[in-house]
Amino acid sequence: MIEDDFFATIKFKSGEEIFAKVAPTDEEDRIMLIITNPITVSLIKTRQGTVGYKIEPWLKTTREDMFIVDFDNVLTISESNDIDMIQMYQTFIRQSKLGDTEKLSRKMGYLANVNDAKELLEKLYKKDLKDT
């Protein structure tokens, strides 16, 4: 019996570990997994001891968001009900999709070299002193 899709951590026999939305399906007497927007999660620790997570797409050289995996390649799979992990996943996916359509523009900020920025800041500072 095949269930509806769910969030899960999948550990492959190759050693890779991903988090994705998973939908199992029966195909010709074998189980296949349809995984959507798979990501890898790495634990990051700073020198100050702060801990965070680095989230990246599982496959970095494709824009596809759905993959079919033979269940024979899976070492273990664990359904996730971790709200924090699911929210990080959904936020990453949403931001990734926005990044595809959003183009850089001058309205987003101004880029300058160090000398130009220094000169501009000095002019603003001197003008501010005159106004006071």
7 vs 38, 68, 93, CA distance in Å?
Answer: 10, 15, 13
**Interacting residues of 18 by C-beta distance below 8 A, sequence separation 6+:** 9, 10, 12, 35, 38, 39, 40, 58
Which tokens in the block code for residue 130?
């005159």
Q: Is residue 120 part of a domain?
A: no
Proportion of the chain in helix, strand, coil states, percent, rounded to 5:
35, 40, 30
**pLDDT surpasses 90 at 130:** no
For residue 57, the one-letter residue type is: P
Give per-residue pLDDT as tens, 13-38. Answer: 999 999 999 999 988 888 899 999 99
Mean pLDDT of the region 95-105: 67
Mean pLDDT of 73-99: 90
Question: What b/e string do you get for 98-122 counting C-beta neighbours within 10 Å, with b at 16 or more?
Answer: eeeeeeeeeeeeeeeeeeeeeeeee
Q: Is 18 inside any structural domain?
A: yes
Give me the number of domains the chain comprises.
1
Residue span of the structural domain in which 73 resides:
6-104
pLDDT at 50: 79
Asked, for residue 130, whether it belongs to a domain, the answer is no
Domain presence at residue 117: no
Residue 110 lies in a domain: no
> Tell me, what CATH number does 60's domain have?
2.30.30.100
49 vs 83: which has the higher pLDDT: 83
Q: Does a structural domain hold residue 32?
A: yes
pTM score: 0.68
Distance CA 24, CA 126 (A): 67
pLDDT in tens, 59-72: 989 888 999 999 99
